[in-house]
Structure 1
Amino acid sequence: MFKPALIIHGGAGSIHRSNLPPHLYAKYHTSLQTYLRDTHTLLNTGTPALDAAVHAVSAMEDDPLFNCGRGSVFTRSGTIEMEASIMVTSLHPDHQNPQFVKRGVGVMGLKKVRHPIQLARECLLRYESGACGFEGSMHSQLNGEFVEGFAEDWGVEVMDPEWFFTMKRWEEHLRGLCPSSSSSPSSSSSLNGFSNGSSGGFSLESEGGEYLSQGTVGCVCLDQWGNLAVATSTGGLTNKWPGRIGDTPTLGAGFWAETFDKPFSSDTSVDSDVECDGYVLVGEKVGTKRAVAVSGTGNGDSFLRTAAARTACAMLRFDGGVLSLGDAVAAVAGPGGELQRSAGGRWGSGEGEGGIIGIEVVGAGEGDGGWGRVVFDFNCGGMWRAWVEDDVERIMVFREPY
């Protein structure tokens, strides 16, 4: 009934042509193109949105180019603490099937799970199973060793710490500890010269001056049954304090999905089909369902302070039929938007920088089919994104083609 659509993001921030030479751009382009095509094929062959989104993010968690999974950044103590989240909604919910029920779960403080997004998925599905004990909990956020302890029992792969170590991230960690020193500290316990525990006090480029991905990764999918899923994963901020929880596992901050009834501006009954804002009013219907899902990437604390993901969706839900999701995302994450304004006088330090991707289901009356309108916006140098809409494949990092 619905034409599948998807969009992937691979981080946003201070990305410029000066730190993104052609050979490095080609690496990101190749990775994103591969994950986009694989995920699009799954959607077109009947894979549910939830499984397709998890597939895309799992692939990125294995790719050291991105700040998640194996490419995660280090905390100031030299440890890895990963976060991930999943949320689903549907235009035609089937309450007997957990993949069609609106629900969201975030997991955080993970140190050994190879694919944090798969652990988030298991938490979502096992909550819906209604099993006794933990598997019947209603928790939307789960932290650290407790939830990681279930991973192997649930068939989620765990790895030794060495799996997550990459030299580029380690060198970045050391430079962050001593931003003013020409020599690197001998171990992660050397905190001399450490400025603020964030990415704002030192270069986020490699020794060769090349861009190193800092942002969260994510995927939003619409499947052929009208189900939307958003999957998001990150290693957090470089040299964050251990125990820091960001926007990625926090509902409404770094991710959101919901379905709602969208009334038309007129309550006049009609006897024939009327088109309004791309939707069809059939017979006596006075409204139609709409579904949206979004995923954010960038300075997570700013997303938390502004409840960025839910704010964008709420603008659409309660606007009285004026805005599109693209308008709402631009108002939050675009240039001069709410994220940027939240930084105040600190704008330019990295605070407030980021972007949002999403899908809005268009043309979906009750019993009718529809399609997904892909949207995105960002307020910083660039945002890695790859999407398919109307069977057209696009991969970009800047506002203009590379």
Structure 2
Amino acid sequence: MQLIVHGGAGSAPDDPESRQRALDEAAATGTGEPTPAAAVVAAIGVLERAPRFNAGVGGAIQDDGTARTDAGIMTDEREVGAACSMPGVRDAGRVARAVMNETPHVLVAGDHAVSLAEGFGVETEVDLTTERTRERWDDLSPSDGNDVEERLAWVREQFGGSDTVGAVAVDDGEIAAATSTGGRWCALAGRVGDVPQVGSGFYATPAGGASATGAGEDIARMTLSRLAVERLEAGDGPETAAEHAIDELATETDGGAGIIVLDDEGRVGSAYNTEAMQTSTAKQS
């Protein structure tokens, strides 16, 4: 099993060492799983529990004061599952995998996704906030009125952030990619970014897989993960494929993003145009 994991693209973290330890743990945890799909869910699960990442506990808070999670997963056989806009669900990656394995659907949203999570034994009603995120929210002054224009003006002023987490794994030619997030700070309640959108936040084919992070709207406009994997299919190596995808994003948008790529031979690549993006790789025979 070969695996690469990322902890989000954005500004330089104030605690890179502890974040790197968590990423290393995530990568090592994933390689101990029996299949690539299990590996990527296990890897991002470590980060969904690590409060310094924007996924699971410690994720971004939307403009109504609620943290919601999104995740998506895809395999080389084009099996896809995603879940989004889930309050109180830490293990979003597990819900996405349940959608993929247990339902005839690709994406389930909101309270219905939360009910599905509960039905498959995923813990719900988890407090996704931390002291750090509560303090950040308390420092803001959200609009509490019903005026739509006033609310949107506040959202545009405050909207931002990144640090989505993701992983890509390969074993004996089988591939899976997964991404999980708390979204972006102060988004409209119910906003869904790139992460649960197949081809945008995650993508996999027999050639390889990719997981993206950063400005979700721009990633979705470019279907960034699909762009990278298509370069693998055209014969590029993972590093070139990652760089091409980020270059395309920079040409067409003003967004900051990062991406990790793993091909069917276990070669890894990554690229980003933000200040930082931490990654970790691991391999187990």
Q: 8 Å contact 1:197–1:238 — kept in the other structure?
A: no
1:142/1:115 CA distance change after superposition, 3 Å: same
Q: Per-residue displacement from partner, 1:9-36 (whole Å, max 9, x unpaired)?
A: 0011122xxx63xxx2221122122222
* Unmatched segments (≥5 aa) in structure 1: 90-100, 128-136, 178-184, 205-213, 260-290, 363-371, 392-402
Work out whether 1:144 is the aligned partner of 2:60.
Answer: no
TM-superposed deviation, 1:325: 3.0
Q: Quick one: which of 119, 134, 138 aligns to 1:170?
A: 134
**Structure whose alpha-carbon radius of gyration is higher:** 1
Q: Which has the higher helix share?
A: 2
1:251/1:195 CA distance change after superposition, 3 Å: closer
Work out whether 1:324 is the aligned partner of 2:262.
Answer: no
Work out whether 1:49 is the aligned partner of 2:36.
Answer: yes
Residue identity opposite 2:258 in structure 1: G
1:48/1:174 CA distance change after superposition, 3 Å: same
Give secondary structure in 1 for the equivalent of 2:259.
strand
Give secondary structure in 1 for the equivalent of 2:270.
strand
Q: 8 Å contact 1:76–1:197 — kept in the other structure?
A: no
Residue identity opposite 2:170 in structure 1: L
Correspondence list, 1:1-400, <5 A: 4-15=1-12, 20=14, 24-40=15-31, 42-43=32-33, 47-89=34-76, 101-127=77-103, 137=104, 139-160=105-126, 163-175=127-139, 177=140, 185=141, 189=144, 194=154, 196=156, 198-200=158-160, 214-223=162-171, 225-259=172-206, 291-317=207-233, 319=234, 321=235, 323-333=236-246, 337-343=247-253, 347=254, 352-362=255-265, 372-388=266-282
Residue identity opposite 2:230 in structure 1: A
Give secondary structure in 2 for the equivalent of 1:9.
strand
Q: Please, what is the CA RMSD of the aligned residues? A: 2.2
Residue identity opposite 2:251 in structure 1: R
TM-superposed deviation, 1:174: 4.0
Residue identity opposite 2:28 in structure 1: R
Residue identity opposite 1:14 in structure 2: S
Q: Per-residue displacement from partner, 1:349-402 (whole Å, max 9, x unpaired)?
A: xxx10110011113xxxxxxxxx00111111111011113699xxxxxxxxxxx
Q: 8 Å contact 2:238–2:268 — kept in the other structure?
A: no
Q: 8 Å contact 1:107–1:143 — kept in the other structure?
A: yes
TM-superposed deviation, 1:240: 0.6
Give secondary structure in 1 for the equivalent of 2:19.
helix
Residue identity opposite 2:7 in structure 1: G
TM-superposed deviation, 1:195: 5.7
Q: 8 Å contact 1:174–1:188 — kept in the other structure?
A: no
1:171/1:220 CA distance change after superposition, 3 Å: same
Query: 1: CA distance between counterparts of 2:284 and 2:174?
Result: 17
Question: With structure 1 as the length reference, what TM-score do the two structures score?
Answer: 0.65
Residue identity opposite 1:126 in structure 2: E
Query: 2: CA distance between counterparts of 1:150 and 1:38?
Result: 26
Q: 8 Å contact 1:87–1:256 — kept in the other structure?
A: yes
Aligned to 1:365: none
Query: 2: CA distance between counterparts of 1:143 and 1:122?
Result: 13
Residue identity opposite 2:203 in structure 1: W
Q: Per-residue displacement from partner, 1:307-336 (whole Å, max 9, x unpaired)?
A: 11112222332x4x4x22321210111xxx
1:189/1:71 CA distance change after superposition, 3 Å: same
Query: 1: CA distance between counterparts of 2:38 and 2:272?
Result: 27
Q: 8 Å contact 1:247–1:301 — kept in the other structure?
A: yes
Query: 2: CA distance between counterparts of 1:155 and 1:375?
Result: 35
Question: With structure 2 as the length reference, what TM-score do the two structures score?
Answer: 0.90
Give the aligned length: 280
Q: Per-residue displacement from partner, 1:63-91 (whole Å, max 9, x unpaired)?
A: 101101111110011111210011111xx
1:189/1:165 CA distance change after superposition, 3 Å: farther
TM-superposed deviation, 1:238: 0.4
* Unmatched segments (≥5 aa) in structure 2: none
Stretches (4+) displaced over 3 A: 187-193, 197-200
Aligned to 1:267: none
Q: 8 Å contact 1:254–1:295 — kept in the other structure?
A: yes
Q: Percent identity?
A: 30
Give secondary structure in 1 for the equivalent of 2:111.
helix
Residue identity opposite 1:114 in structure 2: R
1:390/1:49 CA distance change after superposition, 3 Å: closer
